Structures are given as structure tokens and as C-alpha cells.
């Protein structure tokens, strides 16, 4: 398999879609590793497997409608494998294995049958001290945007998933790219004050547009850099509530087609006004785990 990913919006050809099958019992508070999951565990509203399976199947139907090759992880008994974006990412023709939370280390084993189709020298494993997850990484033509957390208390946040060491390794791997990193706001306990990954507060869409939320960024200058880069007139600024609902975590099949949550009425109206086809699904149950459409997809090939 020859990989090819240089941006977020070119025509999608092949993707790994997560699975909610055999997800196991609902986690305890101690087992949760994001504040939104904790919130729903406490409230007794944590999602049921049957509902999440149905939501992901709706995404698969849309992907196949657009003739995208959909690959799936092998199912591990009683294991959460929904968010494939976290476990790896593709830049150009290389697959970078993410160093994810130890509790999730089996997830990469479940896609080994896919990695076996890629040349060995194109599958990259980073040093153990380089923490990174795919939700923080966005190739954008000559740039690679990376969400990180630079403060000294990094180790105190289970929600801090990408460290500066990993940013440095990506710079070494792709010297032909301009790496732009962004320090994100983190909270272990308040989902409305936590940007778990870069795609929780930012995502390019279409040919020149972007979805953005200012309070997801710790440094105003880095937020402003994105505003200047895309142009204020090309940015859809989401509210704090819309960030909490994961409005920036839609998924592009092409510059002209996206999959979005039917709940995102204001965003979807804006996208349609740009001439973008919006395929909608209900993803409210999966969203309770602080992840959405981009999180549950791992693109391998775009045209």
C-alpha cells in the first residue's frame, strides 16, 4: 500500500474507521482518561455499545457511498477501539505510530494487519519519550500543524497528549515542511475548559477555510497566527458550547464533501453556504467520550 496524505481535505481514497463492537463494560471514574467521559459516568449517561455501533455504521455507509476504501481494526475483546486517529497518523507516505496512553497500547496491535501492507521503512516508531496522538497532527500542504502543551506541569495532565519532544521529532522526520505548533488549554476535570487535541478547537475545511475556537489556545498570538494565515473572512469561529459539542471535529471526504453531526446546525448552514455538501449523521453518543468524526477516522490515502 502506498500512503499519501498531505492535507485534511483532498479526495479521500482509503481510511481506517474505528469500531465500537465488543467495547466492554462501562468504565469507572478511575478508568476514564478525559473529563467528558467522567462527566457522563457521574451522570449515568455514558453511551451504550449498541448506540455507538449504529453511529459508526452510519459513517461507514457514507464513506462507501463516495467509494472510499474502509478498513477496520481487528476487534479486541472488551476494548475501546473507536478513536483510531489517536493511534497513528500519515504524513506524505509515512505512517507514524503514536505513543499513546499505556491503557490503550493494544489498539495499534489491532491494525497490524493493515500496517503489514505498508513498506517497513515507511512505518515510523518514535522514541518512548515522544508523546503524540493523531488528533494533534494536521498536515496542511507545506505545513504541519501540531497541538501540544509546553508548560512544566505537562505530567499533571492526562489530557496533555503531545509533548514538545514529539514536535521536535516530527521536525526531523519532515525537514521539507514548516512545523507550526500550538499550545492548547488543558483540564483533567472540566470538559468545557479542555482542548484534548488540536482538532477539538481547529480544523481546515474546504479549499481555504477553517473552523476555530480561540479559548482552546493558551497563547493569543498562536490563535492570531491561524486567523492571519487563513484570513478572518474564511474562518468559522465556534462558541465555547460548540467547542464542547465538538463542532471542529467533522471529517472531510474532499474539499466539497464533509461528514458532520446533524446537531451542528449553525456550522452546517455555513458549510452549505460555501457550496460544500454536508452529509450528516447522529454522533451524540460517541461525542460523550470527547471525540467525534475526525477522531474515529485515520486517513491513509488522499488523492
Whole-angstrom distance, CA of residue 197 vs CA of residue 164: 14
Q: Is residue 162 within 8 Å of 7, Cβ to Cβ?
A: no
- Assess whether pLDDT exceeds 80 at residue 101: no
- Assess whether pLDDT exceeds 90 at residue 169: yes
pLDDT > 70: percent of the chain: 100
Question: Which region among 29-38, 58-67, 131-140, 293-302 has the lowest average model confidence (pLDDT)?
Answer: 29-38
Whole-angstrom distance, CA of residue 210 vs CA of residue 230: 7
- Assess whether pLDDT exceeds 90 at residue 167: yes
Q: What is the mean pLDDT of residues 248-268?
A: 98
Residue 184 has a pLDDT of: 97
- Assess whether pLDDT exceeds 90 at residue 99: no
**Average pLDDT score, the chain:** 95
- In the chain, which residue ranges form alpha helices assigned H by DSSP? 35-43, 49-65, 106-109, 112-115, 164-173, 220-230, 240-244, 265-273
Whole-angstrom distance, CA of residue 18 vs CA of residue 56: 8
Whole-angstrom distance, CA of residue 106 vs CA of residue 111: 10
Q: What is the mean pLDDT of residues 231-260?
A: 97
Q: Is residue 218 within 8 Å of 185, Cβ to Cβ?
A: yes
Q: What is the mean pLDDT of residues 262-281?
A: 98
- For β-strands 257-261 and 277-281, DSSP reports them as parallel
Q: Is residue 7 within 8 Å of 209, Cβ to Cβ?
A: no
Question: Which region among 125-134, 187-196, 226-235 has the lowest average model confidence (pLDDT)?
Answer: 187-196
Whole-angstrom distance, CA of residue 143 vs CA of residue 295: 21
- Assess whether pLDDT exceeds 90 at residue 247: yes
Q: Is residue 4 within 8 Å of 301, Cβ to Cβ?
A: yes
**Global model pTM greater than 0.75:** yes
The tens digit of pLDDT for each residue in 45-82 reads 999 999 999 999 999 999 999 999 999 999 999 999 99
Amino acid at each position: 500500500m502506498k500512503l499519501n496524505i498531505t492535507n485534511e481535505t483532498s479526495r479521500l481514497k482509503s481510511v481506517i474507521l474505528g469500531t465500537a463492537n465488543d467495547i466492554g463494560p462501562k468504565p469507572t471514574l478511575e478508568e476514564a482518561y478525559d473529563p467528558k467521559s467522567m462527566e457522563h459516568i457521574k451522570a449515568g449517561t455514558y453511551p451504550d455499545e449498541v448506540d455507538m455501533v449504529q453511529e459508526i455504521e452510519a459513517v461507514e455507509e457514507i464513506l462507501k457511498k463516495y467509494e472510499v476504501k474502509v478498513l477496520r481494526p481487528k476487534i479486541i475483546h472488551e476494548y475501546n477501539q473507536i478513536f483510531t486517529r489517536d493511534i497513528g497518523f500519515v504524513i506524505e507516505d509515512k505512517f507514524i505510530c503514536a505513543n499513546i496512553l499505556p491503557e490503550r497500547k493494544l489498539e495499534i496491535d489491532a491494525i497490524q494487519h493493515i500496517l503489514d501492507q505498508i513498506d517497513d521503512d515507511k512505518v515510523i516508531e518514535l522514541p518512548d519519550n515522544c508523546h503524540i496522538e493523531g488528533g494533534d497532527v494536521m498536515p496542511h500542504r507545506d505545513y504541519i500543524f501540531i497541538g501540544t502543551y509546553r508548560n512544566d506541569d505537562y505530567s499533571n495532565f492526562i489530557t496533555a497528549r503531545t509533548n514538545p519532544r514529539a514536535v521536535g521529532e516530527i521536525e526531523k522526520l519532515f525537514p521539507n515542511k514548516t512545523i507550526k505548533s500550538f499550545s492548547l488549554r488543558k483540564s483533567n476535570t472540566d470538559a468545557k475548559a479542555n482542548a484534548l487535541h488540536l482538532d477539538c478547537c481547529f480544523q481546515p475545511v474546504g479549499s481555504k477555510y477553517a473552523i476555530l475556537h480561540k479559548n482552546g489556545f493558551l497563547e493569543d498570538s498562536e490563535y492570531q497566527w491561524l486567523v492571519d494565515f487563513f484570513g478572518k473572512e474564511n474562518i468559522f469561529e465556534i462558541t465555547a458550547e460548540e467547542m464542547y459539542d465538538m463542532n471542529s471535529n467533522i471529517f472531510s471526504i474532499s474539499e466539497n464533501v464533509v461528514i458532520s453531526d446533524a446537531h451542528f446546525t449553525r456550522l452546517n448552514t455555513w458549510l452549505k453556504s460555501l457550496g460544500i455538501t454536508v452529509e450528516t449523521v447522529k454522533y451524540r453518543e460517541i461525542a460523550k467520550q470527547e471525540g467525534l468524526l475526525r477522531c474515529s477516522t485515520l486517513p491513509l490515502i488522499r488523492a
